[in-house]
Amino acid sequence: MAKPNYSFAKRQRELAKKKKKEEKRQRKAAEQEPEQEIGETPETNSEAPASEPVPAAESAEPKTPAE
């Protein structure tokens, strides 16, 4: 009698899980897509103009006086 190949079975289970997870991700993405088309995007329904981005140098740590 042949010995079972456990690593092959494990790999097959992993591939099945990966495939199922990918299908679920695609299904969720498809469900999200119609909601975004029907509803307005945040950019289109914002009434206030966008503020200018703060440069990275200013947004980092506060400046300390040099000694």
Distance CA 13, CA 7 (A): 10
Confidence at residue 60, expressed as pLDDT on a 0 to 100 scale: 52
Q: What is the pTM for the complete model shown?
A: 0.44
Confidence at residue 22, expressed as pLDDT on a 0 to 100 scale: 98
- Which tens digit of pLDDT belongs to each residue from 32-65? 887 666 655 555 555 555 565 655 555 555 566 6
- Which tens digit of pLDDT belongs to each residue from 1-42? 889 999 999 999 999 999 999 999 999 999 988 766 665 555
